[in-house]
A and B are shown apart, each in its own frame.
Chain A
Amino acid sequence: MTTVGSEPATTTDLPRQRSRPWLLGLWAVVVYGFLYLPLAVLVVMSFNNSRILSLPFKGFTTRWYSIAFSDEAIRVSLGNSLQVAAIATLLSTIFGLLAAFAIYRYRFFGRNAFRIALNLPILLPGIVTGVAMLAYFSNLGLELSLGTVILGHAVFGLPVALGPMLTRLSQFPRNLEEAAYDLGAKPAQVFTGVIFPYIRSAVIAGALLAFTLSFDEVVVTIFLTGRDNTLPMEIWGRLRTNITPEIAAVATLVLVLSTGLVLLSQWEAAREE
């Protein structure tokens, strides 16, 4: 009997078990349709030559894109978002990496509690993080700014970055580490020379996830933002007043750019393995 799973279910070597995969396939098609329908609508609207975001399609235009590009507020907030996401990601990844190493390498009292504690910022709703940090900063007399937004994003970024690293580390062949020690390597050398190369793709994946979640974050940001807006805050402000097609254009651009980033990281990871 050959194994299933490595090949699509075209072979019929498991007669009793062929439980109508076409039905499952149909379900998958419906779910993918459901996932992508709103995105498709958005992309279509961004090219629709109409001031209102509705059908029928009144002809193709790239007008909304040029309006979006020349919009000063959008440009500034995009720059802010990139800056916030970059710094928050750096902080998240460094602290996440340290935590991953501690959890992987050592058995210590409260190890599971430590894991859960680090994960709390993503286990509890973002609004709790937002208002708690708002109360904290106001107690400290700290003025809200992009700096406070960065701190907020780095707090939930740590567990986001930590996840993929821990998963990858749990597959790490420990005898590699033993071998390095036997050859006289110091712990720091073992980490940089043996462990880190093994989990590099997971570190990149975690960092990328932290970056994109920060780039898109609304719920925490709303409470911690000062005068300077991030891109989602700028969009949020416009969504509530006058929604215009240039928002659809901005959303489409963000989608295209981030898809490119994700594909790049996937390609990088595949090349490595």
Chain B
Amino acid sequence: MDATLSAQGKRRSQPRLGLYASLLPPLIWTTLLYFVPLAILISFSVWRLEEFDIVKEFSLTNFKTIVTNPAYRTIILRTVGTALGVTFIDIAVALPLGFFIAKYGGRWRSLLTLLVILPLWSSYLVRVFAWKIILGYNGVLNTLLIELGILHEPSSAFLYNQFSTMLTFVHVWLPFMVLPVITAFERLPNDLWEASADLNAPPWTTFRRVILPLVTPGILAGSINVFSLTMGDFITPSLVGSPKGIMLGNVISSQFGVSYNWPLGAAFSLVVMLIVFAGLAIALKQGALDSL
């Protein structure tokens, strides 16, 4: 009894020390290497470039350029549209798969899950490039279609367009959607199905009214991943996309690279951040925090 009391007393006397020792190092680390850089990026976005020199005065020139230039508006819309499209397709692909693995996977469940993640361990660049080999003019798909007699000559319709961009995105980000979805399905108690079935609910109703609301946090967590990854990517559009189909990531990387207009690039980064924050806010409001 005495020992318990003194142990508890000791724990209460210096809990703050442990808190600071564990909380401060990661906090300072992330602040110095992430939040300070973000602040600097934001300050760049309100500076401007004049005659190859950065003028360090507050102005909204860059944002005015972004809003008034119709070409930039199109790029923003295209990027958001692509990211949303890829997210929804990945949800549609991942839901039945996650459901199957979690419910019918049995003792193969962890193996099946592992098989979903495994492609992530091959180079991302090379996976994107592989689609070029598949969809290209001399590619695998064309060779196959000609062998089968469906096509008489190779078609260039498969590569360097919005279709190949979306397909590649759906492929490379799919594991990021499937994983949280599987986790969400695995958390469901089994008797939920039986209860719903015992009440004579048809499977589809059970799914829509009982299961779907419960796996929504998992879907949201996956959606944040996929949406954000697509919003900032420039590798896929530059390898398999159309030259006319560039996305915000391409604009940012070119402003920080060959175009050498860091203030404008920073302003574009801010646009990307704001759009992702908007998506994040929606997801967090729906209760995605625990699945992050």
Contacts and interface: CB of A to CB of B under 8 A. Distances in A.
A264 interface: no
A4 B103 contact: yes
B170 to A, nearest CB: 9
Interface string A251-270: 10011001101100010000
A216 interface: yes
B127 A56 contact: no
A115 B22 CA distance: 13
A134 B44 CA distance: 12
A70 B19 CA distance: 52
Interface in A2-26: 3-9, 14, 16-17, 19, 21, 24-25
Contact of A127 (B26, B120, B224, B232): B232
Contact of B40 (A54, A136, A182): A136
Interface in A106-135: 106, 108, 112, 114-121, 123-129, 131-135
B130 interface: yes
A95 B174 contact: no
B33 A151 contact: yes
Contacts of B169: none
B81 interface: no
Given A106-B15, A125-B276, A128-B272, A38 B130 contact: yes
Given A56-B143, A135-B44, A239-B125, A120 B232 contact: no
Contacts of B232: 124-128, 219
Contact of A132 (B38, B96, B134): B38
B116 to A, nearest CB: 7
B130 A98 contact: no
A14 B192 CA distance: 13
A158 B273 contact: no
Contacts of B33: 133, 151, 154-155
B194 to A, nearest CB: 7
Contacts of A65: none
Contact of A28 (B101, B200, B233): B101
A125 B3 contact: no
Contact of A24 (B3, B8, B99, B262): B99
Interface string A227-238: 000011001100
A139 B40 contact: yes
Contacts of B115: 32, 35
Contact of B133 (A36, A54, A131): A54
A267 to B, nearest CB: 11
Given A54-B143, A239-B125, A262-B118, A45 B41 contact: no
A53 interface: yes
Nearest to A101: B22
A53 B133 contact: yes
Contacts of A36: 119
Interface of B: 3-4, 7-8, 11, 15, 18-19, 21-23, 25-27, 29-30, 33-38, 40-41, 44, 93, 96-97, 99-106, 108, 110, 112, 114-127, 129-131, 133-134, 136, 138-140, 143-144, 171, 174-175, 190-191, 193-194, 197, 200, 203-204, 206, 224, 228-229, 231-235, 239, 249, 252-253, 256, 262, 265-266, 269, 272-273, 276, 280, 284, 289, 292
